[in-house]
Chain A
Amino acid sequence: METIRNYLETMFMNLPSSPEIYRAKNELWQMMEDKYTELLENGKSENEAVGTVIAEFGNLDELAEDLGIAQFLQQESKVPQGKPFPLETVKEYLADKAKNAFYTALGVFFCIISVCGPIFFGALAEYFDADGILGATGGCSLFVLAAVGVGILVYSGVRISKWKNIGQEHYVTDFSTTEYIHQEMEKYKGTHALLLTVGIVLCILSVIPPMIMDEFSAYSEIWDYCSGAFLFLMVGIGVFLIVMSSMKLDSYNTLLRLNQKDTIGGNYVPNQQNAPQYISEGVAVVMSVFWPTVTCLYLIWSFLTFDWWKTWIIWPLAGIIHSVIKNTLKKQG
């Protein structure tokens, strides 16, 4: 059954997606399925049944005139629609991207926690009243951690550059490969939801250590001094989880977007159809960084003022602004 499905989907992959072509595909599938089922009922082996169904399928050229796809069928034989992107490469790409997501997130993590060094050593210095050596160590640790973070980011950037032509050249994935990517993505979505939630919760809860440690300061001042370090540590872990998981999810979407949007094969990505088209490139760029920017503004405002009870107002406001922009600057039709 799977073989027949693959065969049919591959035949239709590069055709434009129109209601007539969908209907043709579904009707042909109905007939093939019926024939296959009956062959099996008549005691044929699965291989025999698949062979018969495919042999008796015919040729799409017969439908060319009725469906108005003649030019596509000709085109296909003249110029290749894109380089094939086989399943092994897909697996290699996904594995590579997953590793890269980890490295990038780790780099970001080190950059964020680099400020913990000075805070922690500063607290020790304050506590032992020995500013000299401890203060210097703190200053050094900031640069060491930041250097490690940036180093990892550079490494991961260079490491992934071998895949950079994915966005530039035109590749296509066949039906079974697309199906595989899609299934893998669906499987990962649960993990993604969990990691994202934990990441966001950690970022929000990061204000708790300073609050609690404030209370401990009665016992020992050192708690109060280094409470900021814990805040950044929690934010660092939270951001690590968010970045890693989002990047991994993004790699599936990148692959699913390889097939041309207006063909049957490209219709596989539901969120691709939903992605709105904007009137100009500039708007599209602004919109793509809208939510990260809002998040940054929220965090900056919150951490600068610690007025958490009123900074949340950014989110509903941003939501309204986002839908206003989306609806007014969206490309019509």
Chain B
Amino acid sequence: MSISSDVIRGYNDTMILYLLWEKPSYGYEISKQIKLLSKEKYIIKETTLYSAFTRMEKNGYIASFPDQNNATGKRRTYYRITDSGRAYYREKCAEWNLTQEVVGKFIMKGERMNGDN
């Protein structure tokens, strides 16, 4: 089954910030990492990714700068995380933990789900 984009929408930012935590990166690299880390269960659309970039940049969570790839020499727009981006990421993580805890209470496990009553 594939993941519903409505559910994951609120967490695209979290994934992007996680990937930018150590070092700056660019569009395709990020989408590739998301695909890789999610074991191809989630493939982010280009428009979704770019929309997240512009929104987070406007909010000051990330900053963009042009840079050249050392290997290929191709110029790309790179993004790096800002301090308020790190703060926002911590918030989102806390929010997720809470969400997971609450929703988790209502998720049936094992045999019980298969029974009719």
Closest 6 CB pairs of A and B: A58-B45, A58-B47, A34-B28, A31-B27, A66-B54, A62-B47
Knowing A57-B46, A58-B45, A63-B47, say if A31 contacts B53 (CB, 8 Å).
no
Among residues 13 to 43 in chain B, which have CB atoms less than 8 Å away from a CB atom of chain A? Answer: 26-29, 31-32, 43
Stretch at the interface among A22-30, A163-171, A191-199, A278-286: A22-30
Among residues 28 to 43 in chain A, which have CB atoms less than 8 Å away from a CB atom of chain B? Answer: 28, 30-32, 34-35, 38
Q: B54 — which chain A residues lie within 8 A by C-beta? A: 20, 24, 63, 66-67
In the complex, given contacts A27-B53, A30-B77, A66-B54, what are 13 additional A-B residue pairs having Cβ atoms less than 8 angstroms apart?
A: A27-B50, A31-B31, A35-B46, A56-B46, A57-B45, A57-B47, A58-B48, A59-B45, A62-B51, A63-B47, A63-B51, A66-B58, A67-B54
Main secondary structure of the interface of A (DSSP, over half): helix
**Alpha-carbon distance A99/B27, docked complex (angstroms):** 50
A130 at the interface (CB under 8 A from B): no
Knowing A27-B77, A31-B27, say if A56 contacts B43 (CB, 8 Å).
yes
Binary contact track A55-76/B, C-beta < 8 Å → 1, others 0: 0111110110011000000000
B50-A63 in contact (CB<8A): yes
Knowing A27-B53, A27-B77, A56-B43, say if A34 contacts B27 (CB, 8 Å).
yes
Q: How many residues belonging to B are interface residues under a CB distance threshold of 8 Å?
A: 20
A35-B51 in contact (CB<8A): no
Cβ 8 A contact of A28, one of B26, B29, B47:
B47
B76 at the interface (CB under 8 A from A): yes
Q: How many residues belonging to A are interface residues under a CB distance threshold of 8 Å?
A: 19
Q: B51 — which chain A residues lie within 8 A by C-beta? A: 62-63, 66
B90 at the interface (CB under 8 A from A): no
**Alpha-carbon distance A59/B27, docked complex (angstroms):** 17
Q: Which of B's residues lie within 8 Å of A, judged by CB?
A: 26-29, 31-32, 43, 45-51, 53-55, 58, 76-77
| Residue among A24, A32, A56, A67 with max Cβ neighbours from chain B (10 Å) | A56
B50-A59 in contact (CB<8A): no
Binary contact track A191-224/B, C-beta < 8 Å → 1, others 0: 0000000000000000000000000000000000
CB distance from B54 to the nearest CB of A (A): 4
A62-B48 in contact (CB<8A): yes
Cβ 8 A contact of A58, one of B28, B32, B46, B55:
B46
Q: A20 — which chain B residues lie within 8 A by C-beta? A: 54
B27-A66 in contact (CB<8A): no
Cβ 8 A contact of B27, one of A30, A58, A62, A63:
A30
**Alpha-carbon distance A58/B43, docked complex (angstroms):** 11
**Alpha-carbon distance A39/B50, docked complex (angstroms):** 20
A30-B53 in contact (CB<8A): no
**Alpha-carbon distance A63/B58, docked complex (angstroms):** 14
The closest CB in chain B to the CB of A8 belongs to: B46
**Alpha-carbon distance A67/B51, docked complex (angstroms):** 9
A56-B77 in contact (CB<8A): no
CB distance from B31 to the nearest CB of A (A): 7
